[in-house]
Each structure stands twice: as structure tokens, then as C-alpha cells.
Amino acid sequence: MSSAAPAEVQAAAVEDGSLAAIARARWEALRGGDVGFLPVLVGIVAITLFFTAKTSIFFTAVNFSNLIGQMAGTTVIAIGVVFVLLIGEIDLSVGYVSGIASVTVAEFQMAGSSHDYPGLVAIGLAIGVGAAIGLIQGSFIAFLGVPSFVVTLAGLLVAQGMIINLLGTQGVIGIQDHQVNDVANYVLTKNTGWIVAAVFTGGLALATLGGYLSRRRAGLPTGNVALAVLRVLFYGGLAFTAVAVCNHYRGVPLVGLIVLFVVVLFSYIAGRTTFGRHVYAVGGSAEAARRSGINVKLIRILCFVICSSCAALGGVIFASRLNSVDLTFGGGTILLDAISAAVIGGVSLFGGRGKVVGALYGGLIIGMISNGTDLVGSADWVKYVTTGLILLAAVTLDTLARRRQAAVGR
Amino acid sequence: MSETATATTLELRGVSKSFGSVEALRGVDFEVRDGEVMALVGDNGAGKSTLIKCIAGIYSIDDGDVYFDGKRVSIHGPKDAAKLGIEIVYQDLALCDNLDVVQNMFLGREEHDPLYRLREAPMEQRTTETLKSLAVTTIRSVRQPVATLSGGQRQSVAVARAVMWNNRVVFLDEPTAALGVAQTRQVLDLVKRLAEQGLAVVLVSHNLIDVFEVANRITVLRLGRNVGVYERDKTNEREIVEAITAGMPAAEASA
């Protein structure tokens, strides 16, 4: 335990909000096992440098636009997985649930059938089916206490079977509906792209200002103002740069905007609402949450509903991207990529730690490796081995961070 | 102590609780007043935990009555206990390690606007004020995760949480069991401060040194029965140990 005197010095230093004090607090947190997004950012830079050196195609506007399309589905699924990991559970069914949603959206837009609905309705139905699957799986886990590993493994098999059953006779369904196909293929006009970047930056600035004002009104330490401004400028700059790069080619893909929207929405839910707080509480200690009057079962079920719904949206994106659905949907590396993305993005498998935005970073890393190895023309085994090793590194880091934190604690 | 003749805050009369053929509590009387520290002592299996859980609403009592401020009440669940203003700080503290001090203090009772958006600033403000009022000064930032706190600091957070909600009765289950000397000191001071603020405090402990330091009265349980209630100033450790191990000592039999 630290003695009283240095602790008080520290408190004073944090409250004065000087950069040195913030750096020191950050360093303390780092030593305490909270590495934040540092390894992820280092990874992104390293992978970029590596592939840029290997091939001239990697660091181009065209490839950046492609990358957005390639990583979108996996990233959206990973965002859902974050919620399940946060409560210390796992969902192995996300791959085939996304496949079910792909089939559903294709089925409900099928021209000439009795259920030839408009694209948006078909998409809504697909996400609804996902939510229903999450409700069923979550209920088994929350009410009956069946381990999520088993429930979702069973769900994986059932979903896989259903895909074969639904596609059985024709094996493939083409998608003609424009709304469905636009999800992954529409490109925003260049001006719309700029507006999106401006709205994003403005929103971030307003949120930051609101937080600052409410803290000042309450007479609380407000932190370093310059740093907050810098943060807004950094992320705003990032948004404008991304739009500029996309506009250099065809423009910002709509699917990129969808991913951004899902990230912001669920970051907000996880970080700023009572529901989000309770999710973290259940992940930290379900018993403590229960004793505090939190409806743990409801939280558990809702997390599985969110997870399966995101998986369904991911499935819609996959289907839209290929303009058709076939028997391979839901399989392959979708499941492992999505879980890896969440874990690489710093979401702890032990529950209670990690951020939604981590799924975006993790999805970016997985997407970049996949994209880069394809461009370089490496064999598939290189992709698998690299992704596997990065996943192992991420989980090892998480485990060590946890041990480190426990050691600092008492 | 005796001249502060305040009415009892929480009173149990003839409370019994059985689990199958095992009688965990047999007609137990128990009381605690505002502004006093009542110690609850007894050997393992004496019924201390059962008594706490009955009051917390985790177990329902088989027989007997519970009075709060002189009025008969029935406690059917944790929510009833919370509504009366009874808070229990369990031995394992029920804190979420991954959440920070503010988040733990408001766990399950977060301040939010109609859209369920968290109102962080008022929560942080109130946490800081509560900790200050209890003179908990060793926590460097209320925004650090509880995982990084020492045992004494965690105990302080758990106790502060119990106090913050205008509770009337606070049960502390073995609050010093896992603590070192300096941290035990911190927590015992905190216990005294709670009573000074007018709360009825029940201290469940094995450690008679701690009990004699802070308690005003001592209730001894043995094999599910109330052996006796002793004024701290009119008894000594030997007498209490005898009561714990052998039941009612002859000298005090009808006192």
C-alpha cells in the first residue's frame, strides 16, 4: 500500500491538470497493467509500414476504400462480440448467425416470391431474426445457467444446419434489390463525405465541451483543456483525412459510414448509459451487481441480443457485398476473425474490461493483414499464422495486464 | 452510553430460522440504536451470518418479529431492507474491481437523465463529498479502478457506499478480517465516525480487540441463541470469550 503523503501529492498533481501530471498518471496506469490502445496503435503502424514496403498497392486510396469494404462485416460483428465478452461470456454462433441473416435478407427480397419485400424491410427482418436468436441463446444462459460456450456452440450447429436447409434446393440466392446491394456497394458523393466528417468532428467537439462544462459547473477538476482540444483535433483530422483519401478514389463507401455509426452508437451505450455501466458491473462481479439491485439476467440476455443483432447486420453486409448468398456464408474465418478483432482491440476475455471502439481497431488490424497478405500474394497459411500469433499476443497481453493489476492492487 | 436513551432503531424479537432439521436461529432477540456501535460476536456456526441474511432479506424468517423505529415490518427481499435503510457491507465487499470508486459508490443507483444517460459530474461530486465527510483521505483519485486500491481503501469505499444513501442501519461483516494494522486502524476510525454521524452500526467480528475498541454494546450468539447483551464498559474480554464458548456465564445469568 502506498503511504499517505505521496498519494496526496499525486491527487494534487492530477487536479492541477498539467501535462506532466497527466503523463505521470498515464504512466502509473500503464505500470498498473492498463496498456490502453497503445499496442493496437503500434500494431496498426507496424502493419502499414510492413505492407507499404512490400507492395506499392497497399498504401493507396483505392486499397483504402477496398479495405473499408473488406473489414466492415467483421468489425460490426466484433462490436456485438464486445458486449458478450464484457459480461465474461462468449458467443461462438456469430459466424453462422450472420449467415442466417444473409440468407434471410436474400430470401425476403427474392423477386417473384410471395415475400418480395423492399430491401429495408428485408434488412429489418434479418436483424430481427438475429435479435430473436440472441434472445433464445441469452435466455438459456441467463435463466438456466447453461454455459454460453455450449449454448452458442449448439447455436452454431443449428444455424449452420438451417442455412443448408434454407439454401438446400437452389444452393444460391441472387440479390437484385438495390437497397440491399447499396449497403456494401453505395458510395457517398464527395460533398456528403465532407459533411459526414464535419458532423463527426462537430459532434465530438460538442460532447467534449458538454463534459467540460458539466464538470466545471460541479466544481470538479476539468483536466487539461489543451489536451482535450488536441484530442478533438486529432480525431477530427483523422475523419477528414479518411474522407479525403476516399474522395481521391470514388468517395466514402456507405458501409464505412454504417460501421462508424454502429461504433459511435454502441460506444455511447456502453460508456454513457446506465445499461452500459451495468454491463461492465456484471462483467466485473456478477455477484456485486446482483447485490446492488442490478437485474443481472436481463443484462446478460440483452448483451446476447446485441451480439446476435450485430452479427445479423454483419451478415447483411456480407450478402450485400457479393450481391448473393450461397452455402459458404457464415463459415470460414468469420467467427474467429470477429472474436479476434474484439480481443486484439483490448477487450478482455475475462470480462469487464475493454471498449467498443477496440473492435474497430481490432477489425482494422485483421482486415489489414488479410488485405495485405492477399496483395503480396502470400499463401493462405501466412494469413492464418499471422492472425493466430497476433491473437495469442493480444490475449497474453490481457492476461499479463490482469495479473499486473492484481499485483499493484494489494 | 446509558444516558443516551434513544429508542431502538432495529429490533428483532424471537426470530427463528431453520434449514431442514438444522435450527440456525432459535428465538433470537437483537437490537441496535441510533448512534451506537453494536457488536455481534459468536463462534463459527453461531448464527451471525444467518441473522444478517435474515435482516438483509436474503432469507425469510420462520418465526418472530422485526421492528423498525418501533413499527412492525416484514422484510421479504433485499429491496425491502434497502427501503428501510438497512445496508449490509459483506465481508467480500461486493465491489466491482474493474469499475472506479464513483462507479462502485453508485452501482445500481446511478444518477441519470430521462434518457438513461449517466450524469457523471454530480455522482463524482457526491462521492468526493462523502469520502471527505468520513475523512477517507488516502484514495488519490475517485476515478481509479477499485482493483488498484488497498484492502483498507476498498473497505472504506464499501462503507462509504453504505453511508451515502442515507441509511439508518449499517451492518459491517468482519470489516477488519483481511487487513493489516494500519488499515485496521483506518477502518475502526471509520466505524466510530459512522456512529458519531448518528447511524446504528452493527459490527460483526471475531476480533475482540477491535470489538472492545469501538463497540458500545456486545451481543453474543451461541448455537443460534442470544446468550446475552453486554455493555462494553461493564464487561471484559474474558467474560465475552466465556459467553462465546460456553454459553451464559453463571454470574450474568439473569442480569
Q: Which residues span the domain enclosing A392?
A: 38-186+253-409
Burial class (CB in 10 A: 0-12, 13-18, 19+), B237: exposed
Report the pLDDT value the prediction gives residue A71, as an integer from 0 to 100. 96
Report the pLDDT value the prediction gives residue A64, as an integer from 0 to 100. 94
Contact yes or no for B98 and A284 at CB 8 A: yes
Domain assignment present for A295: yes
Q: What percent of chain B has pLDDT over 90?
A: 33
Give the Cα separation of B29 and B12 in Å (integer): 5
**A284 in contact with B, Cβ within 8 Å:** yes
How many interchain CB pairs under 8 A, A with B?
120
**B150 in contact with A, Cβ within 8 Å:** yes
Closest by CA to B216, choosing from B228, B227, B239, B200, is B200
**B87 in contact with A, Cβ within 8 Å:** no
Report the pLDDT value the prediction gives residue A391, as an integer from 0 to 100. 83
Rounded average pLDDT over B153-162: 87
Name residue A97's beta-bridge partners: none
**A408 in contact with B, Cβ within 8 Å:** yes
The count of structural domains within chain A is 1
Give the Cα separation of B131 and B136 in Å (integer): 5
Judged by DSSP in three states, A364 sits in helix
Reported in sequence order, the residue ranges of B59-206 that DSSP labels E, i.e. its strands, are 63-68, 71-73, 86-89, 169-173, 200-204
Report the pLDDT value the prediction gives residue B254, as an integer from 0 to 100. 44
Residue of A nearest to B93 (CA): A288
Closest by CA to A330, choosing from A155, A170, A124, A107, is A155
Give the Cα separation of B245 and B225 in Å (integer): 12
Give the Cα separation of B114 and A252 in Å (integer): 36
CATH assignment of the domain containing A383: 1.10.3470
**B121 in contact with A, Cβ within 8 Å:** yes
Report the pLDDT value the prediction gives residue B248, as an integer from 0 to 100. 64
**B90 in contact with A, Cβ within 8 Å:** yes
Give the Cα separation of B225 and B223 in Å (integer): 6
CATH fit for domain B8-96+166-252, picks 3.40.50.1820, 3.40.720.10, 1.10.3720.10, 3.40.50.300? 3.40.50.300
Strands B225-231 and B217-222: what pairing? antiparallel
Three cell numbers, residue B99: 469499475
pTM reported for the whole predicted model: 0.87
Closest by CA to A175, choosing from A316, A69, A312, A325, is A325
Closest by CA to B154, choosing from B199, B89, B217, is B89
Below-70 pLDDT ranges, chain A: 1-17, 32-34, 405-410
Give contacts of A277 with chain B, Cβ < 8 Å: 99, 103, 107, 110, 118
A212 to chain B, minimum CA–CA distance in Å? 10
B96 to chain A, minimum CA–CA distance in Å? 5
Q: Shortest CB distance from A352 goes to which of B98, B118, B122?
A: B98
Which of the residues B53, B99, B132 would you substitute to probe the A interface, choosing the one with the greatest number of A C-beta atoms within 10 Å? B99
Closest by CA to B195, choosing from B183, B213, B179, is B213
Report the pLDDT value the prediction gives residue A205, as an integer from 0 to 100. 95
Which of A51 and B197 is assigned the larger pLDDT?
A51
Please say if the pLDDT value at position B250 is more than 60: no
Which H or E run contains B23? strand B22-33
- pLDDT, one tens digit per residue, over A346-376 is 899 989 999 999 999 999 999 999 999 999 9
Give me the residues of A, 248-277, that contact B with CB < 8 A: 272-275, 277
- How does the average pLDDT of chain B come out, rounded? 86
Report the pLDDT value the prediction gives residue A5, as an integer from 0 to 100. 37
Is residue B224 within 8 A of residue B28, CB to CB? The reply is yes
- pLDDT, one tens digit per residue, over B225-243 is 888 899 988 888 888 888 8
Contact yes or no for B118 and A278 at CB 8 A: no
Domain assignment present for A168: yes
Give the Cα separation of B90 and B158 in Å (integer): 9
Domain assignment present for A14: no
Strand order in the sheet with B37-42: B86-89, B169-173, B200-204, B37-42, B217-222, B225-231
**B183 in contact with A, Cβ within 8 Å:** yes
Report the pLDDT value the prediction gives residue A33, as an integer from 0 to 100. 67
A247-261, B135-149, B169-183, B239-253, range with the lowest pLDDT: B239-253
Is residue B42 within 8 A of residue B220, CB to CB? The reply is yes
Contacts of residue B184, Cβ cutoff 8 Å, sequence gap at least 6: B152, B176, B210
Amino acid letter, residue B13? R
Judged by DSSP in three states, A303 sits in helix
Domain assignment present for A343: yes
Which of the residues A269, A350, A410 would you substitute to probe the B interface, choosing the one with the greatest number of B C-beta atoms within 10 Å? A410
Q: What is the CA radius of gyration of chain B?
A: 19
Give the Cα separation of A372 and A364 in Å (integer): 12
Report the pLDDT value the prediction gives residue A26, as an integer from 0 to 100. 74
Give contacts of A302 with chain B, Cβ < 8 Å: none
Report the pLDDT value the prediction gives residue A103, as an integer from 0 to 100. 95
Confidence band, pLDDT 50/70/90 cuts, at residue B99: very high
Name residue, grid cell 467534449.
A208
Rounded average pLDDT over B143-172: 87
